[in-house]
Structure 1
Amino acid sequence: MSWKLTKKLKETHLGAPFSSTFSRSSSQSTITDAQKSLSATATPGSQTPQQTPSAIPTAANGSHDPQGIAASESMVNPPAAPAKPGILILTLHEGRGFSLPPGADQVFGRGPGHGNSISTGSFSSSYMGGNSARPGSSAAQQGSFRPMSASGGGINNMPSIHGRYSSKYLPYALVDFDKQQLFVNAVSGTPENPVWAGESTQYKFDVSRSTELNLSLYIRNPTAPPNSGRTQDIFIGTCRVTPTFSEDAQSGAANSPSSSDGKSAKRDKAMPAPPSSRNGDIVGVQWQDIQYGSGSIRIGLKFVETRQRSLKVEDFELLKVVGKGSFGKVMQVRKKDTNRIYALKTIRKQHIISRSEVAHTLAERSVLAQINNPFIVPLKFSFQSPDKLYFVLAFVNGGELFHHLQKEQRFDINRSRFYAAELLCALECLHGFGVIYRDLKPENILVDYVGHIALCDFGLCKLDMKDEDKTNTFCGTPEYLAPELLHGQGYTKAVDWWTLGVLLYEMLTGLPPFYDENTNEMYRKILSEPLHFPGPEIVPPAARDLLSKLLDRDATRRLGTNGAAEIKAHPFFHSIDWRKLLDRKYEPSFKPSVVDELDTANFDKEFTSEAPTDSYVEGPMLSQTMQQQFAGWSYNRPVEGLGDAGGSIVSGNAFDQR
């Protein structure tokens, strides 16, 4: 789901003419055989993706699996664990013992405008084999992240006025819960021991499945050049918490001391509380150790169950239009009860019925409801009115990958490798559930606050596909179509590995390998033109070898035919620990320029300048028979045995007590 709501056309169509050596226009997907497109029926229940195993190495871990390829298999497509619908309430209180990563203190002594991006564990530095310790390395575990005292410079060597620090130079937390991301700035204290707003400011998150809460901590680089955005910010650690989404568990934790984690209690008791927290214990507030950094942070978590009901558009405040298409539009919205920002995708029922797109639309909802992967945009809710269907998705506002590729013309080898690796994991997840994606392209890839990718737009997915199964639907985007699809003799999941190769080639060079303004000529090139590469400074030998194997016209020989593991094992990805990648422990080298969760600067002004409205649909009302096609559309993740849950906060906490 590109925010542009690219429609699935029934005729081949390209956008504006080719404009420069490293440029192409945004492409639109094409469908020429809608009747054969999906085996889906009108009810979502018939399209539940079934998870199937893929080929993996026999060794599960240890020296036989140094890259974590086999160990990462179970992490790629875990089922989305259900949770009682509710609201998770987060409060940030204070931190202590924060420090800079190795080498970062040297940056503070430089003059303004000479800053370098310092982020421990960055993807590019780990690949290049730099001397700095990365997260999870033995150097990091042996104390490389020890605090640096103020007298020796260190993290407190920030600009201050009479010993007081501006909030600009205090650490901030990037909170991530199920792709809902927001910045939380410290308000006082020191860079080493910052203080947040505490109980006076609560951050609410909608809970639709069991997932982790991640806090990534950064401090702004005082020597960064103007207008550098967040690219120069210094990563100082992370904190990961698995909340308990049960009021009963919270009550037990609060009222029964024996239910508490003994180790946590002992650690808190042994560590005297700073003055700002000596006014009595607050239930649900705990100290959490910082990973890949030093110190700890004090946070509060509470869970509130809510009544399960279908949403309606009046539950949202419409903020801005961020995309439009023939079926409807995508708007940035604020959910009124939690104040969280989402993308609301509206689709007119009459349009998809008249274009025989009901099956595709239901497929998109079905896929999004089942998938649980860090590199796929999650579906939070879906609901309907008599005239429209609504998707409520995480609002990923770093912009489309296409936007950044057009702006920079091409990416360097490390950045391209990073995106390709995350996309590989996303496609592996889909394949594990028997889903062929079929429309991989930069327009369908979003970039989040941190710089990770998020795959979207699942309208062309084919469900219930086993490894050996073939389908015949002619669909996709012209530049990315695999040869076997053009031959019309049926194709398998291997078409997704072809498109991954095309995308990697485009990221490295600026254009797809067989691009041509004339669609028929482009098809000829895809079928018969030799694959040409620029020099090794742009496409190194390992990348060239991988591309040659992904872009093999014989689908039975194509790398990935026997599973994603054989692509992961290619030398091009030799530097990657796939477990760390799936845990998002690599710090991206590029972070989009995003001010906050409301920022829409990375979207087309043609859309954002339009007034957001849930427009009236003219014409006759749909018949009951037509409406039946959308039975079961409304979605709050399925919950077994859920009664009428109240909405009151219990005297407990949402920290996992296991």
Structure 2
Amino acid sequence: MYSRKAYGPSKDVLSYKAGTQTPTEIRDGYTEQQQLQYTKYLKQLRSEFQQRWCQPAQYNIEFSELERVKTLGTGAFGRVILLRHTKSNKLYAMKVLEKEKVIKMKQVDHTLYEKRILEAIRFPFTVSMEFSFKDNSYIYFIMPFVPGGEMFTHLRRMGKFEEPLAKFYASQVVLALEYMHFCNLVYRDLKPENILIDRNGYLKITDFGFCKILQGRTWTLCGTPEYLAPELILSKGYGFSVDWWSFGVLLYEMNAGYPPFYANEPMKTYEKIVAGKYRCPSSFNADLRDLVRNVLQVDISKRFGVMKNGAMDYKNHKWFRGIEWEAILNCRAPPPFVPKYRSPGDTGNFERYDEEPIAPASYCRYESEFMEF
């Protein structure tokens, strides 16, 4: 097993109906008429995102009402903690960010972006912000508790995903990226560690620390080495294309159990990525090989998701045959795998961590830097 790190600077019910389509049409692909109707729906979601982006969130809960239960994970800037609301008994996941660490890592702008994006984003396969708070030393992002744990954990335990499960997860990621890009959001850190499995077996993409609203191109080097796109490594300036490349790496890793580009040193990993050289396992069928080849395409003009048909290149690819996209969007397709979840508050799908106290300073630290939070 290897380890990898990222480097860099309320559950809404969505129901979408595509209109009158026969089951055969849905299973065999996605028609232009379906996509036109879905684009209208995406425009509505984008408008709602923009409205929430411009309107400060109003909370009707006090921080003192939240009771700490257990640590769910740790990261470079803080940790994620399971909380219980003492009045409603509802469970939440709280991301705790230490101001001093955010300052030292020069991540203030990224953290502010993450807060505003989490407040505005609403899609079945992304997490969103329920509440946020700050005190003298910390910032707190409070989101719904997703009890199934990280995709990374399940992938390592299974070795690799069976094709129906990989296809089920991949279809949700395609829809999530299509939505984010439609809202002008570039995600920039897609990987199994940032994908949670909900109690219903469906996905929730989390950790928007590198996500930003994109107008044109950007040049920031950020993300996880094995998942970085060639154009990002080469500092050419990039757009939404980097997310589709990362999706190709994720697609490969879900089906193989390991990423296509890996070396003991990041620089050697980057060399492999820029060269675009990898080998598919013998277990990959012809349709999967073809899809991977079209996503892990160094030439951006030929990469799926970036060309004129956009996400339609995925929805109509042979490997996705059998996927009913409307059923996936509405979480009505039976999941091939549902994580074990014994009771509310069960953290069995998460690693165990030592508990550490959260002790705010007696005075407000870095007040001016975090004024907008």
Q: Which whole-Å CA distance do the structure 1 matches of 2:228 and 2:331 have between them?
A: 30
Structure 2 unaligned spans of 5+: 10-17, 53-57
The root-mean-square deviation of aligned C-alpha atoms, in Å, is 2.4
Q: Distance in 2 between matches of 1:461 and 1:627?
A: 19
1:530 matched residue in structure 2: 277
Q: 1:407 to 1:566 in 2, by over 3 A?
A: same
Give, in whole Å, the separation in 2 of the partners of 1:623 and 1:430: 32
Question: 8 Å contact 2:137–2:365 — kept in the other structure?
Answer: yes
CA contact (8 A) 1:312 1:383 kept: no
Confirm or deny that 1:438 pairs with 2:183.
no
Sequence identity (%): 35
Distance 1:509 1:479 in 2: 14
Structure 1 match to 2:288: 543
Q: Give, in angstroms, the shift of residue 440 of structure 1.
A: 0.4
Q: Match for 1:28: what amino acid?
A: K
Q: How does 1:217-366 map to 2 (within 5 A)?
A: 309=59, 311-366=61-116
2:56 is equivalent to residue 79 of structure 1:
no
The number of residues matched between the two structures is 348
Relative to structure 1, the CA distance from residue 522 to residue 337 in structure 2 (aligned partners, 3 Å threshold; closer, same or farther) is same
Match of 2:364, SS state, is coil
Q: CA deviation at 1:311?
A: 4.0
Q: Distance in 2 between matches of 1:493 and 1:386?
A: 37
2:6 to 26, 29, 37: 29
Structure-2 residue corresponding to 1:397: 147
Hey, what does 1:387 align to over in structure 2? 137
Q: TM-score, normalised by structure 1?
A: 0.50
- How do 1:85-484 residues align onto structure 2 when only pairs under 5 Å count? 309=59, 311-465=61-215, 469-484=216-231
Match of 1:553 in 2: 298
Residue 65 of structure 1: how far off its partner (Å): 6.2
Q: Would the alpha carbon gap of residues 424 and 623 (structure 1) be closer, same or farther in structure 2, given more than 3 Å must change? A: closer
- Tell me by how many angstroms 1:588 deviates: 0.5
CA–CA separation in structure 2 for the residues paired with 1:346 and 1:77: 33
Deviation of 1:531 after TM superposition, in Å, equals 2.8
Q: 1:587 to 1:74 in 2, by over 3 A?
A: farther
Cα offsets for 1:371-400 (capped at 9, x unmatched): 111111121111222322111101001110
Aligned CA distance change for structure 1 residues 553 and 444 (closer, same or farther; 3 Å): same
Letter in 1 for 2:100: Q
Q: Which moved more, 1:540-549 or 1:381-390?
A: 381-390
What is the TM-score when the length of structure 2 is the normalising length?
Answer: 0.87
- Residue in 1 that maps onto 2:15: none
- What one-letter code is carried by the residue in structure 2 that aligns with 1:539? F
Structure 1 residue ranges without an equivalent (≥5) = 1-18, 35-58, 83-207, 209-307, 634-658
- Mark the structure with the bigger radius of gyration: 1
Aligned-residue offset at 1:435: 0.5
CA contact (8 A) 2:93 2:145 kept: yes
Change (3 A) 1:437 1:626: closer
Relative to structure 1, is the Cα distance of residues 380 and 623 closer, same or farther in structure 2, using a 3 angstrom cutoff?
closer
Pair 1:490 & 2:240 matched? no
1:617 alignment counterpart: 360
Q: Which has the larger share of strand?
A: 1
- Aligned letter for 2:152? F
Q: How much has 1:81 moved relative to structure 2? A: 9.6
CA contact (8 A) 2:219 2:237 kept: yes
Per-residue deviation at 1:620? Answer: 6.0
Q: What is the 5 A alignment of 1:3-42? A: 19=1, 24-25=2-3, 27-31=4-8, 34=9
